[in-house]
Structure 1
C-alpha cells in the first residue's frame, strides 16, 4: 500500500504565483536566466541563484546556505505563505499539445526503501549525497518527484468534482501553457484520496530517481540523529506529483556520437550488417515505425536498421528494450561508448524536439552519426521496475516537466 499524504504547502500568494513559478533550471539558457534575474524580482530563480544578489558565482555549502536565506526572505516578504491545514493540490496544465492533471502530495521514504515506490534507473552516489546535503541545509523541497499510478475511478471522480470549483491559481506562462491549482483540504476528500492510494500496491518513479534517493538518505540520517523519532516527522516524506499512467507522455531520446571510433564509413556499415538489415534511404527523412527498428543518419543519408532477430537472443525484459539493443550491439562494441552517462563522445536529444535536429548537427560536423528509435511504452518500464532491473541512461523522456516554486515542502 502506498502512503501518499496531504501536507501544509508553502506556496506563492495568488497575485504573484505567475511571477514566482519557474521552469526547471536546466531548461533555461544563460541569457534567459539573466533576464529573469534582472527583470523579475519574484522569480524562484532568485532563490536558486543566490549569488546574483552579490554579483558573485557561489557554489557548495556556501551556496546552500544562501539559497536558504533567499527562501526565508521570500517568506518574510509574504511572497510565500504556508497553508494552515494539510491538503492535496490538484495541478493541471494545458499546452498546445497536451493536457496533464495530477495531485501534488507527500510520499513516504519507507515506501521507497520497501520497493512500493519502484525504480527503473540507476543513481549516482555522489549526486545523491550532494542533493541530500543541499536538502539538509535548505530545509525544503520544491521539485516534486514525478510518480505514476494505475488509473483510479475514485481519484478521477474526486478530481473532476474539485475542478468544477474555482481554482486557487490560474495563470499563463511565457511558453503559452495555462496552469491551474486547486487546494483540497476538506477532511472527507483528503481521507478518500489517502485511502484510495493505500489500495494501490505499487507506484512507479517516472522522473526523479536522484531526488527520491536523496530524500531517503536525508530521512535515514535524520532518524539516526533524532532520539525521539516517531516516523511522522516531515523528513519521512518527500514532495511528489502523482499522475495516472494514462496521462503520461513518453518520448524517445535520440543518440548522437561524435566519431566512428576510428572506423571508416564502409567498415562501420559492414560491421552493423551482422546484427541489422540495412537499407539506405538516401536523403528521405526516416523515422522507425516498429519496435526493434532504428533510424541512422550518416554522411548525408538516412538508413533504416532492422534487428536480425534470428541472431539476437531475448533473455529478459531488459534485453527487449531498443535503447539496450542499440547500446549492446552498436554503441559499446563498435563505437566504443561504454559509459553512457559520462562519455563526452555521446549526446542525447529528446524526441519531442525538432525531428531534423539530428540531421542538422551531423551535417554541421559536430557529430558523425545519429540514431533514432520509437519511444518505450510505460508497460515496458514497469516490467523493468518490477523485475528489479535498470534501463540504460536516457532511455526515455517523460512528461510532464513540472515548475519550481509552485508548492514547497518543508521538513
Structure 2
C-alpha cells in the first residue's frame, strides 16, 4: 500500500507515476491468441474441439458444444429460490434503467427544405462472454444481456468455458433472455463468435469480461465485429471524511480488492487519524474474508491512501479516471458535480459501490485503466445503431446541388461532381 500527502513537494510526480502504471498484454499471450484466431477462422469447429482438449482438458463433439434447453432449465431450477428472486429483482431494475436510455427517432425539414433525420435500430446478434470458475458471476450475465434484450437484439449467444455450469449463472441467462449457450471459452470462443465455427454463427458485437487471452482476442477481432471494451483490473476510489465509520470504508475498499490481485483501491481523505483507522480495519477484515488472499495482495501491491483536502478530491479523481468512485461525505454533490472522468459515481454514506454491482439498475460494466477519460460504461447504446436519413425535393436539391459540385471538383472527384451536376442540367 502506498501513502501520498497532497502537501509533499513531489506529490504530483509520484502520484501521476502511480496512477499511470500500465499492465500491457504479455507478448507470449498475444502470440498464442493470434494463432488460435487464425486456426478457428480456417478450420472452424474442428479447431474449437481441438483447443477444448488442449486448453480445457475436455472432450467435446459438435453435438455437445451447445447447452441444451433441458440443461438450462434444470440448472436454473437448481438455483436457490432466494437467489432466483434476487436475480429477477435485479434484472427488472436493470431493464427499466436501460429502457429509459432509448433515444427517439427524428425527422424534420431544415431551413433549406431538406428532409433530414435519423432512425435507431438494434443489432441483429450479440455474443456474450461469461468466464467460468470463480469468476462466473450471474450479475455480469444480467449486466451484459439485459441491456441487449432491452434494445431489441434478436439473437444473444452466450459462450462460457466447458465445465460445471453454475445454477445461478443459468438462472441469470434464462431470466435475462439469452437465446443460446455454447461450451467454449478463451480466445477460441471469441474467434467463434467473430468468424463463426460450425453450429456457432457469427455475431455483430462481442461483450463480456475475460482473462488476458480473451481481452487480447477481442482486441484482434475488433473491426470484424464490435466489442464493448478492453477491460482491465477493477478499481475504486473512496473519498471519505472522518465522520464515516472506518469499518464501512474498509469494506468498500476491499469490495474491489477481492476481485483480483491486480485490482486497485484508493482512499482519499483529509483526516490522517481516520485513514489510520481504516488501514487497521482493513487488516482485521482481511482475516475473515474467504477472498482474503487476493484482496490482501491487491491492497499491498496496488492500494493507496491519499491525504488531501477534500476540496481537491475532484481533480484527483479526474487524474485517476477510475472505474468507480464513492463520495462518502455530507453533501456529495458539491464534489461529484466537479468530476469529469469516472465510470460510475456513488453518492453519500449509504451508497456503497456494491449496490451498483447488483441492483441499482445502472450497469457495472465500466471503463477501467483510465479509459473513463474517453469512454462510458455499457448501456443500451452499445446494442443499437443510428442510420441517417436524407431526402431532397426539387427546391432543396436546387440549393444543395451547386455547392456539392464545387466541393467535389475542389477535391478532384469528378464523378461525385457529375452525380449532382447531371441533375442540375
TM-score range, shorter chain: under 0.3
Richer in strand (by share): 1
If you compute each CA radius of gyration, which structure gives the higher value, 1 or 2? 2
Of structures 1 and 2, the one scoring higher in RCO (CA 8 A, sep 6+) is: 1
TM-score (structure 1 length as normaliser): 0.27
Richer in helix (by share): 2
TM-score (structure 2 length as normaliser): 0.26
